[in-house]
Amino acid sequence: MTDTPWPRFYVFKQDSPEAPHMNCGSVHASDAEMALLNARDVFVRRPECVSLWVAPAARVAEVTVDGLAGLAPQADDAEGQAYEVFTKAAAKGQHAHVGQIAAGSPGQALRKASETYPDGVWVWMVVPSVAIVASPEDEGQAWFEAARDKPFRHQSFYHTERLIREIKAGQLDPEGDE
Amino acid sequence: MVGEELDQGKLAVFEERIARGEKIEPGDWMPEAYRQQLIRMISQHAHSEVVGMLPEGGWITRAPNLRRKLVLLAKVQDEAGHGEYLYHAAETLGVDRQELLEALLAERAKYSNIFNYPTLSWADIGIIGYFVDGAAILNQTMLARCSFGPYSRANIRICAEESFHMKQGKEMVIRMARGTSEQKQMVQDSVNRWWWPTLMMFGPHDTDSPNSPQLIRWGIKTRTNDELRQTFVDNLIPELHALGLSVPDPDLTFDEGEGHWMIGAIDWDEFYRVIHGDGPCNKERLGARRKAHEDGRWVREALAAYAARAEMAEAL
């Protein structure tokens, strides 16, 4: 009954070209390529998406305001690598992509992120830029096309509340055909 | 003793945060009981979405026309997605989806009792959307306000999609209730079979839910089982009556003073019997899940082999 568990990938979804990528959850997959396909099936059954990023959970580091004090002091490392920074800035919000910083370790990246984006943030999340795999840009349209022609997936497709109102008001015969 | 005092201080801060309406995030301090309650609730919720595909999935090939087939297919796909949103929320608490799935298959975990009832006619597909998804939305709308950030966000996403599920079912019920006498009879029969099991979905009466006060204090739930059940009944009865449908409850009365529909006694013996494995479909549902898991094994193995080979090629 036991299988080897697939690694977990964080998923970041961009709803429109103007909007930042937002953390929307995670999927399990055998590799990044499958993670992108799974992410599309799980998070993009409806059309609000222009780009997906996935990153192995093991490469994602995050810290809350609570945990910030517990971060070990980090020596400044000029070499380092690029990290993408995501912050949860509203109590009820999600983690949104805010920019990029260079750091020598995930811990240092978190500290730098908290110093660069200090205001009103609840959670900082950093991912090495090289760990992120994006949905193909040149196929952007085709990749998300399948979600666009299914209006019946939206509640506005159904006129049930109007029908019930009309039946209750006696404007529609409950016995009659539409 | 010092540790205990420390925890008391942390608990006070934690409860103040919840009282202010802040969301608790995975890296934050939380009481172990909060974490355990959430893992239990979220994994049961996830399993319910996954097992919930079964009663409807069997009707996809028997849908009466292409429109209904497309709609049902989309709905069942959504349920699979909802399961995944929820497993993710549980995983932020330090458990693994694999463990949770194994607990389900080994009958160590529960899922919503409602899915242990059979879908005997096409009208049941309409009633599941209208009743079962309608009841689920009330619960999930409450959980979208939950104090734990990842569970709250998963429910916000679910609610946005679940409205479609409820409305497609309600549309079918309206259509059948205004259709031929055979259709009316079929939908009334379906109401009769699903009414009580749906009301049981909200869980035991408040007087028999020992966990409720703490769940409410910690903002995991914001309304009690009985409050949610009453809202459901008050919404639904006038609509059913307008459609010429009745519910199988001879004791149903309208309390003018309170403005509430008062239901008769719920058969909790049946509830506990079904929860403990003796429902009409418990064996069938778990059997179907196990079969799906086994039948998918070769796909998982093939993907793992492909990933391993790609990794080796990269290393060379």
Predicted local confidence at residue A78, as pLDDT: 62
Beta bridge partners of B107: none
Q: Is residue A137 within a helix (H) or strand (E), and if so which, with residue range? A: none
| Chain A residues in contact with B77 (beta carbon < 8 A) | 41, 45
The CB-based long-range contact list for B12-20 (8 Å cut-off, 24+ gap) reads B15/B217, B15/B218, B18/B147, B18/B218, B18/B219
Chain B: residue nearest A63 by CA? B27
User: What span, in angstroms and rounded, lies between the C-alpha atoms of B137 and B116?
Assistant: 19
Predicted local confidence at residue B4, as pLDDT: 67
Nearest to B98 among A5, A41, A91 (CB): A5
User: What span, in angstroms and rounded, lies between the C-alpha atoms of A129 and A19?
Assistant: 19
- Tell me the pLDDT tens digit for each residue of A67-104: 888 887 766 666 789 999 999 998 888 999 999 999 99
pLDDT tens-place values along chain B, 316 residues long: 456 667 889 999 999 999 999 999 998 999 999 999 999 999 999 999 999 999 999 999 999 999 999 999 999 999 999 999 999 999 999 999 999 999 999 999 999 999 999 999 999 999 999 999 999 999 999 999 999 999 999 999 999 999 999 999 999 999 999 999 999 999 999 999 999 999 999 999 999 988 888 999 999 999 999 999 999 999 999 999 999 999 999 999 999 999 999 999 999 999 999 999 899 999 999 999 999 999 999 999 999 999 889 888 888 7
Predicted local confidence at residue A177, as pLDDT: 47
Tokens linked to B98: 């694999």
| Chain A residues in contact with B170 (beta carbon < 8 A) | 158, 160, 164
User: What span, in angstroms and rounded, lies between the C-alpha atoms of B290 and A103?
Assistant: 47
Q: Mutate which of B24, B178, B237 to disrupt the A interface (most A C-beta within 10 Å)?
A: B178
Confidence bin at A1 (pLDDT 50/70/90): very low
Beta bridge partners of B24: B148
ipTM of the complex: 0.91
- Tell me the pLDDT tens digit for each residue of A98-118: 999 999 999 999 999 999 999
**What's the rounded mean pLDDT across residues A9-31?**
95
Task: Give the count of alpha carbons within 13 A of B118, CB side only.
Answer: 7
The CATH superfamily holding the domain A8-168 is Phenylacetic acid degradation B (3.10.20.520)
Nearest-CA distance B168 → chain A (Å):
7
Predicted local confidence at residue A175, as pLDDT: 57
Of the candidates B91, B109, B93, which has an alpha carbon nearest to the alpha carbon of residue B101? Answer: B109
Predicted local confidence at residue A70, as pLDDT: 80
Q: Do A176 and B239 touch (CB under 8 A)?
A: no
User: What span, in angstroms and rounded, lies between the C-alpha atoms of B276 and B272?
Assistant: 6
SS3 B265: coil
Predicted local confidence at residue B80, as pLDDT: 96
User: What span, in angstroms and rounded, lies between the C-alpha atoms of A52 and A44?
Assistant: 9
Of the candidates B45, B23, B169, which has an alpha carbon nearest to the alpha carbon of residue B115? Answer: B45
Q: At what angle do helices B66-91 and B32-51 cross, to 10 degrees?
A: 160
Residue B294 burial (C-beta neighbours within 10 Å; 0-12, 13-18, 19+):
exposed
Q: Is the pLDDT of residue A59 over 60?
A: yes
SS3 B148: strand
Q: Do B98 and A3 touch (CB under 8 A)?
A: yes
Nearest-CA distance A68 → chain B (Å):
10
Q: Model pTM?
A: 0.93
What residue segments make up the domains of chain A, in order of their start?
Answer: 8-168
Nearest to A45 among B78, B242, B306 (CB): B78
Q: At what angle do helices B225-242 and B134-143 cross, to 10 degrees?
A: 140
Q: What is the CA radius of gyration of chain B?
A: 22
